[in-house]
Structure 1
Amino acid sequence: MASNPSDPANRGKYADRLDPELWDYIDKVNSWYPPEIVAAPIPKQRTVYNRMCAAFHQGRPEGVTSSDGIVATAAHPIPIRRYRMVGKPAAAVVVYYHGGGFVLGDLDSHDDICAEICAGTGFEVVSADYRLAPEHLHPASFEDALAMFEWVAATSTLPLLLCGESAGGNLATAVAQATRRHPRHALGQMLIYPGLGGDESGRSYIEHAEAPLLTLVDIDFYRRVRSAPGQSLDDPTFSPLRDGDFSGLPPTIIVTAECDPLSSDGESYRDRILAAGGQARWREEPRLVHSFLRARPTVPRAAEAFGRIVADIGALGRGEWPY
């Protein structure tokens, strides 16, 4: 998660492109999780990242309860956390996959985000603590994400939505593609600045190769660290944009940040779904960067973008197409 230095003199083309309050957020992230941390051992990276997540945690809205559990699989148990609203029956269940480059993150790192989605929609939210690289290389995280979907589909009668952020957006997309003909296939999916294995000669990859909080160097690092020997980039469970079939997918909303090298992936995925006759909407939030969800308490643009995301999840869960 390398970034431009905090010194305003070194902010380059982003100096005036990003709002001052967003720069305050970027500086705070870098103070907790500095760009050079990517050279540290993975356990050290996780310790530092978890401290940062705890520092940004906003608590949970009133009325949201949670319970931790285990999903048993043939290979290993998957820890999960379920969020519900007290005294309010849920109309849908959101399966949420956290971000962190397939290397970082757990049930606590995105706890407040899941709780706010629950409060904002009234839906049940189930978060999965999938296996991380490099201890567990691809397809471990995908297998856990798929097992999580299958468990929710088997144990709940509610309409099911897929939601993922960054690396979790990759997992949600891969699961949607793998389960499109499942009897309990997802009613919709919300993808938040996902990395989908797109063409790195694309617009945003070039224009924002050195964007704050995520660069092409970072993307390459996370891709390599999760790759098994001989990993094919054409594997759609690794790079969902490399799939040869985009038909039969659930209504899909992709939200990206303007100043993020991954933004073109969202645009490309929308185009593939539309070309295959499906429903898809891509929204590029202006003057924001990768990881902006964590900026929602202090950055008005991020708060407004998150509000739109929650509203769209609510619409999808009610079987509505909001566009």
Structure 2
Amino acid sequence: MTIDPQLVELLSVMPEDLFVGDAATARATIDAGIGLLPVMTELARVEDRTIPGAVDALPARIYRPSEQPDLPVTVFFHGGGFVIGGLNSHDALARRIARHAECVVISVDYRLAPEHPFPAATEDAFAAYRWVLDNAAELGADPARIALAGDSAGATLSATTCLLARDHGLPQPALQMLWYPATGVEDTVSRAENAHAPLLTAASIAWFMSHYFGGREFDEMGPYAQIGTIEDLSGLAPAHVVLAGYDPLRDEGADYAERLRAAGNTVECELFEDMVHGFMSFVDLIPRCEECASGSFAALHKALHP
């Protein structure tokens, strides 16, 4: 199966070789493009604030689909290889989550590398989840119905936060929504097969990892740096894993889903053969991307509105 034709057309106008220079240049290029996109999903209220991080306060954006009290909450971590991305880059996706899952969304702007290498993002994600557990009621939300969601690096942070919550004795979320996660398993068919795939190539993965890990080896940094190799995956939240056919991370995401299932967790896994890494960012622009997103939005709604 080939990549969806409309997606191919959109990708053809995107800049090439974006992830070869410094992080600041890549961020500026992406921010300039995002500024041209209209807001497609109107909500009752969207507000910016700060929440406590592991070290300093973190910018966060709170999305409310309605003023109804005691709505469930989704804590959302954006993608971007732990180097790029932020509240604005994933505003459209956060709005869609709020609308389709009928929940408050708290989008967290965790610290980025190379200024803040591993484990800064992991620590901030866990701190944000801990804060939401303790303060959901202050937000007018239901502390008993909290989900974690993220795409790419954000999916990795969601999965890692579930592991950290288990290991620190905190409650698991109602669902971990993992859109094409990176797990650190490098020797896969899809990494070789999609080394030159759109949006995420082998070279761009190396660029992200060099910024995030600073040349350190995985075994120097502990298990949370490479969650795909953690032996004990028991006692974790139900997972919904979404994969793209033309994605270097496809196989490691599939393997992680299977290992979660084998450890006794509830897992649903979707693979869209005609999609590329990052396709959830185009749900407002490409009908096929919106179609592929529908199952995960429905799963999130079901988990939060049992």
Residue from 164, 174, 189 that aligns with 2:160: 174
CA deviation map 1:206-258 (0-9, x unaligned): 22121111111111211111014634257332221121210001100100111
Q: What CA distance in whole angstroms lies between the structure 2 residues aligned with 1:180 and 1:74?
A: 18
Distance 2:113 2:9 in 1: 31
What's the offset of the Cα at 1:58? 4.2
Q: Deviations over 1:28-81 (max 9, x none)?
A: 3x2xxx2223222221111101112223x3415233311111113462111111
**Which residue is 2:82 aligned to?**
102
Residue matched to 1:6: none
Q: Which piece of structure 1 moves more, 123-132 or 294-303?
A: 294-303
Structure 2 counterpart of 1:144: 124
Tell me which moved more, 298-307 or 252-261.
298-307
1:135 maps onto 2:115 in alignment: yes
Residue type matched to 2:34 in 1? C
Deviation, 1:190, is 0.5
Q: Percent of aligned positions with the same letter in both sequences?
A: 31
**TM-score, structure 2 length as denominator?**
0.91
* d(CA) in 2 for partners of 1:189, 1:155: 20
- CA separation in 2, counterparts of 1:18 and 1:72? 41
Provide Cα deviations, 1:147-205, integer angstroms capped at 9, x if missing partner. 1000001112241101010111111111011112634321111000111112x332211
User: Which residue, 31, 45, 52 being the options, matches 1:65?
Assistant: 45
Q: Is 1:18 aligned to residue 3 of structure 2?
A: yes
| Partner in structure 2 of residue 81 of structure 1 | 61
Partner of 2:19, secondary structure, is: helix
Is 1:220 the counterpart of 2:197? The answer is no
Match of 2:12 in 1: 27
Q: Unaligned 5+ residue runs, structure 2? A: 137-142
Match of residue 259, structure 2, among 259, 272, 276: 272
Q: 2:238, 2:3 → 1: CA distance?
A: 31
SS across alignment from 1:24: helix
* Partner deviation per Cα, 1:255-296 (whole Å, 9 max, x = no partner): 011110101122111111111111112211121101112222
1:291 aligns with 2:278: yes
Structure-2 change in CA distance of 1:89 and 1:299 (3 Å) = same
Ranges in structure 1 where 5+ consecutive residues have no aligned partner: 1-15
User: What is the aligned length?
Assistant: 298
Corresponding position of 1:125? 105
Paired with 1:222 and 1:275, the residues of 2 have a C-alpha distance of 30
> Which residue, out of 71, 95, 100, partners 1:91?
71
| SS of the residue 1:18 aligns to | coil
Deviations 1:95-127 (A, max 9, x none): 000011111111111112111110112101001
Contact 1:180 1:186 in 2 (8 A): no
Cα pair 1:90 1:124 within 8 Å, conserved? no
The CA distance in 1 between the partners of 2:91 and 2:144, in whole Å, is: 22
Partner amino acid, structure 2, of 1:218: S
SS of residue in 2 equivalent to 1:194: coil
Question: Using a 3 Å threshold, how does the CA distance of structure 1 residues 40 and 170 change in structure 2: closer, same or farther?
Answer: same
CA separation of 1:46/1:73 partners in 2, compared to 1, >3 Å: closer, same or farther? closer
Instruction: Provide the rounded CA distance (Å) in 1 between the counterparts of 2:263 and 2:17.
Output: 42
Distance 2:133 2:57 in 1: 17
